[in-house]
Amino acid sequence: MKKLLSILCIAVVVFTASSCKKETVVAPNNNVTIVKTVRSSDWAVYNSTSNTVDLNIPELDEYTNEHGAVLVYIAFGDNAPWEQVPEVFDGSAYSFTHNTGHVTLYVQNASGTGTPIIPDQAYVKIVLVDSN
């Protein structure tokens, strides 16, 4: 009887273990990356110590604005490294805000006083990260 019960238990364990199937679920990549070129003439005076540039980003819809993440990077020339904003670079402090359809960059001197130095040309990378 013990032998029959042992065989039955082993059969149940083998059947259970062999019926397990490992599944890997890969979620779709709904992230979006946009690269814009910002020239020195694109910057406008915001106040006595800050300049600003408004970037039109139609991919930044209301849902992403409220529930996703907006990441901003800046590079100062071809093949330059991407610096994540907020960032202080060469004595200038860069920051940003965002709302539906727009990302606004700000630059000011890191000291908070005086007129900021505007880069000749910069590349701005905006990454919209989807979230559930």
Per-residue pLDDT of 72-127, as tens digits, reads: 999 998 889 999 999 998 899 999 999 999 999 999 998 888 888 888 899 999 99
Choose between 20 and 52: higher pLDDT: 52
| Beta carbons of 43 and 119 less than 8 angstroms apart | no
What's the predicted TM-score (pTM) here? Answer: 0.76
Phi, psi values for residue 106, rounded to 5°: -125, 145
Average pLDDT over residues 55-68: 94
Phi, psi values for residue 48, rounded to 5°: -65, -15
User: What CATH fold (topology level) applies to the domain 32-129?
Assistant: Immunoglobulin-like (2.60.40)
Domain extent listing, the chain: 32-129
